[in-house]
């Protein structure tokens, strides 16, 4: 149950991290994907030469598709065949077939494993006409070896609590196939087995598994060499191991993993995956640290975070910047929570949301202050979505009603952050940033959030007014996005304005009419309203988008 719960939590955590990052990075334009493929075709037809092709790719910031690495049909069929055969043998063993005496069964399976291994060697090295078959047979022998170990364990009734040992006895002895025959399929299998082993070992022995990262850093990653899938699988395995730690309070393991990943990045600078993974892994350490020492703020975290920010700017990596901004916000809130415990102050909902909203505004202003627009965009996106999200939370009357009391510490903290936001905004104003029409829309959104936050903070008991103010700001958000989108001719921002408006209407509809005793009317009226409103909005949206395209 611990494992299932842990994995589910990891999934949710993973999604919450992945989604904003995905938004920041954006999807690759389908036209660019098409262009990537077409360039190769034009080069083959001699319409353009390789240099011209490279220039076009550089112009659109695209990478060349590696044709050589694409799997062909033969490889896929033989690989699937090997997997089927391997699985068949494992299921055969699992069915615990009693007709053949135990030791003969073991002998047959071991014999088959050895013959397959030899044939794999033969077709890979001796007879070079079937290299794909050779690779698949080597992989198949790795699967058969797993089946043999499972059979022996079954004969002696070795219990499932010792499954970690079974997996380890499967994974380690097949490593020579990866190393000496450079067999990528087996590398993937071993990587997956070690990930499974790590969780089984930890849960079975109730200890942090330091052997796993050591095996990955010393054996698996060097063996993966330039094989991206193998490398990424092991990095993901390390991250899973790191984010597993907060649940079981293994404090130093995620730090150990983080330092290892950062060292890998510093050694192989061209491979940025290590930098991303190190950033995420430090977050795992910070969460673990907090879960163990709730009343001790983690200032040590700032040291790796500052290093990671420095490396991020050096690399100009938008993805890593997004991760680090998130880490910083997380650190700030954990520290605030810790101090609230130390000073016995209530960690109030309203002030926390207002503090987060102020952080959002500050991030946005940092974003627009960047000379490098690309590096400024993660700040802008995080800042804007944060400020919007906080206003949305404050727009619920019930939320405001249940949280009217807050402590002095949080009140002054909120005020201080709002003050910083205002000072930064004035600074931008004096530098004439808000002269353009688009920037004026931005200013309107930022000002309305600041004013509404201050109003709610100062008047916690004016629930009705507070709700109206927060809702008015939501409408401002929708209007700003729509007009900013039109001004910048950016359909994505325009559409997000429509989405905010729709969300606002639906939320308020549910808020007001859910209390009705007769729920059928709630759905009937709501459904009709949404169909008619949706049709109207879609019509208007198309009109504006058509105008934009013209």
Partner 1 sequence: MNKKIITFSIMILWLIISLGLIASKQYTISTGKKVLLETVPVDPRDFLRGDYVILSYKISDLDLSIVSPNKSDFKRGKSIYVKLEPREKYWEAVSVKEKNNIKTDEVIVKGKIKYNYQQGHLMVSYGIENYFVPEGKGKEIEQSMRRGSSNTVSVEAIVDKFGNAVVNKLYINDSEVKF
Stretch that binds partner 1, among 204-212, 221-229, 291-299, 396-404 (CB under 8 A): 204-212
Q: Does 111 bind partner 1 (CB under 8 A)?
A: no
Give whichever of 190 and 312 is closer to partner 1, judged by the CB atom.
190
Stretch that binds partner 1, among 201-209, 275-283, 426-434, 478-486 (CB under 8 A): 201-209
Q: Does 113 bind partner 1 (CB under 8 A)?
A: yes
Q: Does 550 bind partner 1 (CB under 8 A)?
A: no
Please state the three-class secondary structure of 365-423 as a single string.
HHHHHCCCHHHHHHHHHHHHHHHHHHHHHHCCHHHHHCCCCCCHHHHHHHHHHHHHHHH
- DSSP 8-state symbol, 428: H
Give whichever of 211 and 514 is closer to partner 1, judged by the CB atom.
211
90/107 Cα distance (integer angstroms): 15
User: For partner 1, which residue of 8, 40, 77, 125 counts as binding (CB under 8 A)?
Assistant: 125
Which residue, 546, 548, 549, 512, is CA-closest to 529?
A: 512
Which residue, 271, 199, 142, is CA-closest to 4?
A: 199
Q: Does 205 bind partner 1 (CB under 8 A)?
A: yes
Taking the complex as a whole, the smallest distance from the CB of residue 135 to partner 1 amounts, in Å, to 13
Q: Does 301 bind partner 1 (CB under 8 A)?
A: no
Q: Does 252 bind partner 1 (CB under 8 A)?
A: no
Give whichever of 181 and 477 is closer to partner 1, judged by the CB atom.
181
User: For partner 1, which residue of 207, 295, 516, 524 counts as binding (CB under 8 A)?
Assistant: 207
First to last CA, the chain: 58
**Angle, CA of 338, 450 and 413, to the nearest 5°:** 25
Taking the complex as a whole, the smallest distance from the CB of residue 336 to partner 1 amounts, in Å, to 34
Please state the three-class secondary structure of 514-543 as a single string.
CCCCCHHHHHHHHHHHHHHHHHHHHHHHHH
Taking the complex as a whole, the smallest distance from the CB of residue 465 to partner 1 amounts, in Å, to 52
Q: Does 521 bind partner 1 (CB under 8 A)?
A: no
Q: Which of residues 129-168 bind partner 1 (CB under 8 A)?
A: 145, 148-149, 152-162
| CA 402 from centre of chain | 33
Neighbours of 135 (CB within 10 A): 24
User: For partner 1, which residue of 24, 39, 117, 143 counts as binding (CB under 8 A)?
Assistant: 117
Contact 384, 360 (CB under 8 A): yes
| Contact positions vs partner 1 (CB under 8 A) | 94-98, 106, 110, 113-114, 117-118, 121, 124-125, 145, 148-149, 152-162, 169, 173, 176-177, 180-181, 205-207
């Amino acid at each position: 149950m611990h494992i299932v719960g842990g994995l589910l939590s990891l999934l949710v955590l993973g999604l919450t991290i992945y989604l904003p990052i995905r938004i920041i990075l954006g999807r690759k334009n389908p036209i660019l994907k098409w262009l990537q493929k077409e360039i190769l075709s034009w080069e083959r037809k001699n319409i353009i030469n390789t240099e011209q092709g490279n220039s076009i790719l550089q112009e659109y910031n695209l990478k060349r598709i590696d044709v050589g690495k694409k799997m062909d049909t033969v490889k896929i069929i033989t690989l699937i065949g090997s997997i089927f055969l391997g699985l068949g043998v494992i299921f055969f063993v699992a069915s615990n077939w009693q007709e053949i005496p135990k030791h003969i069964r073991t002998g047959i399976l071991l014999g088959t494993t050895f013959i397959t291994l030899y044939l794999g060697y033969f077709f890979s090295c001796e007879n070079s006409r079937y290299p794909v078959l050779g690779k698949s047979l080597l992989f198949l022998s790795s699967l058969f070896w797993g089946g043999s170990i499972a059979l022996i364990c079954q004969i002696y009734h070795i219990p499932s609590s010792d499954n970690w040992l079974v997996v380890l006895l499967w994974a380690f002895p097949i490593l020579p196939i990866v190393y000496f025959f450079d067999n990528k399929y087996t590398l993937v299998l071993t990587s997956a087995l070690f990930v499974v082993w790590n969780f089984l070992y930890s849960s079975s022995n109730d200890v942090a598994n330091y052997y796993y990262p050591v095996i990955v850093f010393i054996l698996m990653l060097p063996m993966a060499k330039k094989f991206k899938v193998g490398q990424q699988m092991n990095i993901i395995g390390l991250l899973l191991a790191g984010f597993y730690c907060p649940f079981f309070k293994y404090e130093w393991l995620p730090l150990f993993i983080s330092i290892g990943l950062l060292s890998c990045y510093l050694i192989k600078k061209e491979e940025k995956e290590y930098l991303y993974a190190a950033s995420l892994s430090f977050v795992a350490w910070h969460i673990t640290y907090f879960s163990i020492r709730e009343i001790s703020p983690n200032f040590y975290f700032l040291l790796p975070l500052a290093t990671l920010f420095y490396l991020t700017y050096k690399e100009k990596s938008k993805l890593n910047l997004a991760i680090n901004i998130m880490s910083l916000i997380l650190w700030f809130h954990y520290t605030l929570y810790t101090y609230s415990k130390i000073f016995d102050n209530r960690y109030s909902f309203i002030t926390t949301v207002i503090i987060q909203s102020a952080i959002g505004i500050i991030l946005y202003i940092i974003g627009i202050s960047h000379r490098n627009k690309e590096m400024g965009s993660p700040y802008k996106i995080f800042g804007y979505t944060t400020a919007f999200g906080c206003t949305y939370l404050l727009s619920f009357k019930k939320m405001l009603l249940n949280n009217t009391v807050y402590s002095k510490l949080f009140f002054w903290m909120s005020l201080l952050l709002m003050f910083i936001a205002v000072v930064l905004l004035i600074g931008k104003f004096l530098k004439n940033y808000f002269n353009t029409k688009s920037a004026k829309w931005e200013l309107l959104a930022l000002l309305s959030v600041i004013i509404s936050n201050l109003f709610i903070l100062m008047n916690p008991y004016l629930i009705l007014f507070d709700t109206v103010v927060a809702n008015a700001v939501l409408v401002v958000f929708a209007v700003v996005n729509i007009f900013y989108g039109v001004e910048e001719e950016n359909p994505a921002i325009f559409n997000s304005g429509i989405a905010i408006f729709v969300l606002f209407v639906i939320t308020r509809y549910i808020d007001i009419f859910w209390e009705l005793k007769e729920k059928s009317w709630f759905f009937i009226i709501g459904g009709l309203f949404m169909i008619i409103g949706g049709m109207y909005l879609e019509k208007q949206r198309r009109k504006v988008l058509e105008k934009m395209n013209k």
